[in-house]
Amino acid sequence: MKNNRQLQLTTEEIENHQLSREKPPGDALFWQLWEAAESIAQKALRTDFIQGIQTGTLHPVTYGSFNVSDAYYCFRGAADYQQAANRATHPVLKLFLKKKYQSYQQYNATFPDTWHLKNADGIAPSEACLQYAAFESAVAREEAAIYTVVAMLPCEYLWAWLAAQLAPPQNGNLYADWITGNNDPGGAYAMGNFLEAYCQQFPVDVTKAQEIYRQAMTFEYQNFATA
């Protein structure tokens, strides 16, 4: 039940690119973005979906329908990350975007067996999911590639933060694997540390980054709220 949209980096990739999975410094842009949108994360924590995960009372059909709707987002999103990766020139930025594309491709390949879905064509996603997919597509298509990484961060960190708030799971909780599987912010921290290093070399519009981050966080919340 792990968030399969999360970036998966190998130990070799982390070492080769001198990345760090440690918590970013307190004054890092990572935390500036988070703190400006933390109230939305708190709203996500209070949704019936997340509270149902914590108590183990979430109806399995609701959980299933959430994943089917999310499949639409993932099917549509893979090409967006490939497009952004093709436009990126910084080697580590290209790595993040390529790995995100590859993780989506791998996750999407599981849908035919898990949910009997071949592609996005037969899915009727929630309006929030539909808008989220369109938003990330627009960022990947129209903005500098670094802002696609910014748009990725709410997904990368929010799920880990939520799992940390729910941990430890109660014995017998049907969704214990969701809580334990997502309770690892290392990938998000690696992105945050890279973002900080990138900002020291290249210009990043902080106001634009905050707007993109906050909008992505809002869609994450809405996806949970409308599940």
For residue 11, is it within any domain? no
Residue ranges making up the domain that contains 127:
34-225
Sequence-distant (≥ 6) Cβ neighbours of residue 106 within 8 angstroms: none
**What radius of gyration, in Å, describes the C-alpha atoms of the chain?**
17
Q: What is the CATH number of the domain that holds 195?
A: 1.20.910.10
For residue 13, is it within any domain? no
The total number of structural domains that make up the chain: 1
Sequence-distant (≥ 6) Cβ neighbours of residue 108 within 8 angstroms: 71, 74, 75, 78
Helices 48-55 and 206-225 cross at an angle (nearest 10°) of 60
Is this structure's pTM higher than 0.85? yes
Residue that is written with structure tokens 């106001």 in the block: 207
In whole angstroms, what is the distance from residue 167 CA to residue 42 CA?
A: 16
Distance from CA of residue 226 to its chain's centroid? 17
For residue 59, is it within any domain? yes
pLDDT in tens, the chain (227 residues): 556 666 677 778 777 777 888 999 999 999 999 999 999 999 999 999 999 999 999 999 999 999 999 899 989 888 898 999 999 999 888 988 888 888 888 889 989 998 999 999 989 999 999 999 999 999 999 999 999 999 999 999 999 999 999 999 999 999 999 999 999 999 899 989 999 999 999 999 999 999 999 999 999 999 999 99
Helix locations, the chain, DSSP H: 11-16, 29-45, 48-55, 60-87, 91-108, 111-114, 127-142, 145-166, 176-182, 186-201, 206-225
Helices 60-87 and 145-166 cross at an angle (nearest 10°) of 150
For residue 221, is it within any domain? yes
For residue 5, is it within any domain? no
For residue 29, is it within any domain? no
State the CB neighbour count (10 A cutoff) for residue 43.
16
Tokens, residue 22: 């440690």
Residue-level pLDDT at 23: 96
DSSP state of 130: H
For residue 17, is it within any domain? no
Residue-level pLDDT at 59: 97
Task: Judge contact between 19 and 149, C-beta under 8 A.
Answer: no
For residue 24, is it within any domain? no
